[in-house]
Amino acid sequence: MLAAPLLLLVVSFSSSSGAQLPDKSQVKDTLVATNGQPFPWDRMRLPKTVFPLHYDLALHPNLTTLDFTGVVRIQLDVQEDTSTVVLHAKHMQISSVILLAPEGVRPLQVLEYPRFHQLALLSDKVLTKGRKYEVQLTFAANLSDNFHGFYKSSYRTSTGEVRILASTQFEATFARAAFPCFDEPAFKANYTIRIIREPRHIAISNMPKVKTVELPGDLLEDHFDTTVKMSTYLVAFIVSDFLSVSKTTQHGVKISVYAVPEKISQTTFALDAAVKLLDFYDDYFDIPYPLPKQDLAAIPDFQSGAMENWGLTTYRESGLLFDPDKTSPSDKLGITKVIAHELAHQWFGNLVTMEWWNDLWLNEGFAKFMEFVSVDITYPELQVDDSFLAKCFEAMEVDGLSSSHPVSTPVENPTQIQEMFDDVSYDKGACILNMLRDFLTPEAFEIGIIQYLKRYSYQNTVNSHLWESLTNICNSDNLDEGRIKEFCSKRNLNSGASKWYSGDELDVRAIMDTWTLQEGFPLVNVEVRGREVRLSQERYLKTDNPSLTEGFLWQIPLTYMTSASSTVHRFLLKTKMDILYLPEEVDWVKFNVDMSGYYMVHYEGEGWNSIIKLLQHNHTALSSNDRASLIHNVFQLVSIGKVRLDIALELSLYLSRETEIMPVTQGFGELVPLYKLMEKRDMAALENQMKDYIVDLFRGLIDRQEWSDSGSVSERRLKSYLLLFACFRNYTPCVTKATQLFNKWRDSDGKMSLPVDVTMAVFIVASRTPEGWDFLSEKYRTSLQMSVKSRLKSAMASSPLQDKLKWMMEQSLHGEVMKTQDLPDVVVAVSRNLRGYKLGWDFLRANWHTLIKKFDLGSHSIAYLVTGVTNQYSTREMLDEVKSFFSSLTEETGSEMRCIQQTYETIEDNIRWTDTNLPLLKAWLDKHNHRVAHEDL
């Protein structure tokens, strides 16, 4: 067992002096190792005096005692003379350390500084620059009981037997909890791994197994091939009883999917998708995948969605397993995108890695962006483009707050690093790359990307390396290479687009620095006067402090079309204000065509009225993305007082004729939160008026939906959404049909096959009675289909039965009936439930210290819990209650997390919105109801 004092010390790693590099003069005397000696290094980042070249790692996990022992031998490259080697280890007992030097073997003294997770190895002789040394450390630790490091996972078979496995999750700073290492992304090295196991288990790692050796005590040792040069956070190993299925790609890479034995039949789709996608990337990036194999493993306990470990990607079971008879089109799309994301990382992130976590977006923004590029080409029938805009809208939600951060932002301690894994790094990153691709043209963008990956393979990069690769693509040294040469010779013939490439006119870095080095995004104000279009830009910000919007300037690749021409016109707005001249006067102008740019647009004067008129009379003159972006922008502009609520509501009236998934779901996305605010303010009359308005708006579309699995993927996703909403809102035809189907399904003991697309609507209605809820709960316990379990769980959490909601939250914390990985989803779903929102908030407060230990400070799970539980509050009383709780925390328990600031701002914005707009909403709904009643006479 680990010594208790070490554990106590480690818990406080994010205390204040660790947030930034400490001032040497102040801190030098205060850094004391666990044995009372001075610790020789005073920074959270490791020194650059010594680099690892190769790790020889042997591990022996014991799945009965839930601990492991290990030996690591690290080959070092000494960059400067030193007598100290500083590296990382966390929650670990180090029993011996030796130095293997050219002149012989000798022991090293070990000092520990747990707050920075650091070990200092002290040599009595200087390690000389340029000479090669090795250090060998023997260590022991417990398998982690959260989701990080080398951790314990378990699953229950259909006969009720609990089986244990051990898996890894090292990103961002958790490799150090599995073996002593230089745990920063720039310390790339090769790894040769050996794992000792029992014969009833298998072991897998990044590389193929080379051989298995029999050891005394009925143990086996698997030896794995040496990896390519890579960062510590990409190392992975799993010891389990998984089974696998395999195929080989056209390029000769062996793909295997691993899962627990009873679910191996659900791996066929993931296997085929992985083969198809890896082949796509191999060709798209023009760089062969460098390993002989790629494994995809479905882990029963997994906190994030998936992890891109090189050669062994790991996933939640719901992110990989697929039953064609039980899985919805949304699930299939989701699984395909997750696999596409992790396989894109094999190039973006693994082959070329950010220098430090401040540029995490170079990994995550790219992988998120490539999900859409790759799935659009490999699985066009999944209509992935219909969900891209939603990502940009999600990013804008947090990026419109003053607590947002630049895409590239300084981070030092593990909590700050964890916080980088957010919508800004992933979704904003993807959206600004999409804007750049549209601006440069897809062909030029792809060539620049290939150039970047080839130039920096097996290295680490910063922002500017990417911009340089995208700027002078035809002036590069790589012109002799096939595709680049072909592109550049063609481009010289095609002068139409060449203005974007000529070096004197195009400075990608100057443009993109404005999008990555400052937080937020621009609002472009458009005023049309005859042929003259006056443009101005400002920061979009939800605040009552206008001074916070000053000092921001973007270089914005504007696109626009008009009533007179469907041609997309382009203009780079570099200044605060500018004027465009149209060839003729027009009825309307639409900026940000297809919303390919990461900015909002406000149409001043009569601008919005002309757009409302267009939507009411001929909405298909604009693409569905354009219509979705107009709905989004107009309601978001209400929040900052640029547009009156009645204008936005007038625009929403056209939705009664809308049929496409993006504008319809965006309409719901803007209208539903309005009554959600009222639900938590005891305003039943106005709340019901608003609910009735939304049902009436979409009634025609709802009535046309068939209760079967027919239509394209987007049509089926829309159907599922509409029927769920209709039943949720007690629309009688929907509730009647859902009740009939549930009764038949229950009478068959769940054996009758329900149409997948209507199951959520059926389950929601069933969850309203104790008997119905109990039947769903029983099916949840026994189902092996992850997508079915997910739908059952969502429906159960929407029940009005408060005792059941409490039980669900408690069970997800306990982790047996419901997995603890699902706790954030369960608690947030309960908190959005009219009958559960107080329960969710009480649960979060009561279990806060357990949750931050289980999910880790700064993690996306904690941020999702904090914002998801509180973001529909809109009263001063609730704001005071929320502030009272979070201000009682210390920095060690999360008081400095960004999500807490986001929560305060969101509630303040809700209060401002309701104070300003509730009277307007009531007046408009009264007037609208009067108009409708009049028309019906």
Taking a C-beta distance cutoff of 8 angstroms, is the pair 564, 586 a contact?
yes
- How many Å apart are CA 329 and CA 22, to the nearest integer? 51
Give just the sign of the alpha carbon dihedral 751, 755, 759, 762. Answer: negative
Tokens 């529909």 belong to residue: 872
Structure tokens that stand for 21 in this block: 């590099």
The CA-based angle 885-889-894, given to 5 degrees, is: 110
CB-count burial class (<10 Å; 0-12, 13-18, 19+) for 94: middle
Strands 109-113 and 104-107: unpaired
Task: Name which of 328, 326, 316, 333 is nearest 390 in CA terms.
Answer: 333
Q: Which amino acid is at 286?
A: D
- How many Å apart are CA 702 and CA 705, to the nearest integer? 6
CA distances, 300 to each of 72, 154, 343, 668, 791 (Å):
28, 7, 21, 34, 17
Task: Name which of 334, 208, 341, 345 is nearest 269 in CA terms.
Answer: 334
Which DSSP symbol is given to 348? B
DSSP-based three-state secondary structure for 739? helix
Strand partners, 215: 219
Taking a C-beta distance cutoff of 8 angstroms, is the pair 481, 508 a contact?
no
Element (H, E) at 354: strand 352-354
Q: Which amino acid is at 711?
A: G
Total length of the chain: 937
Q: Which residues touch 734 (CB under 8 Å, ≥6 apart)?
A: 702, 723, 726, 727, 761
Q: Which residues touch 708 (CB under 8 Å, ≥6 apart)?
A: 755, 757, 758
Structure tokens that stand for 611 in this block: 């757009």
The half-sphere exposure of 273 on its side-chain side, counting CA atoms within 13 A, is: 31
Element (H, E) at 686: helix 684-703
Q: From the DSSP assignment, how many helices (H) and strands (E) are in the chain?
A: 30, 29
Taking a C-beta distance cutoff of 8 angstroms, is the pair 648, 630 a contact?
no
Which DSSP symbol is given to 895? T
Strand partners, 459: 352
Q: Which value, to the nearest 10 degrees, does the dihedral of the CA atoms of residues 636, 642, 645, 650 take?
A: -90
- How many Å apart are CA 610 and CA 353, to the nearest integer? 48
- How many Å apart are CA 122 and CA 108, to the nearest integer? 6
**Which is the catalytic residue, given 184, 308, 342, 364?**
342
Task: Give me the phi and psi of 566, to 5 degrees please.
Answer: -85, 0
Q: Judge whether 342 counts as a catalytic residue.
A: yes
Structure tokens that stand for 698 in this block: 């979409």
Structure tokens that stand for 514 in this block: 């404005």
Taking a C-beta distance cutoff of 8 angstroms, is the pair 767, 794 a contact?
no
Give just the sign of the alpha carbon dihedral 486, 488, 489, 495. Answer: positive
Task: Give me the phi and psi of 710, to 5 degrees please.
Answer: -115, 155
Strand partners, 80: none
Element (H, E) at 566: strand 565-573
Tokens 């049902």 belong to residue: 695
Q: Which residues of 103-114 are buried (b: 16+ CB within 10 A; e: fewer)?
A: eeeeebebbbbb
Could you list the active site residues? 342
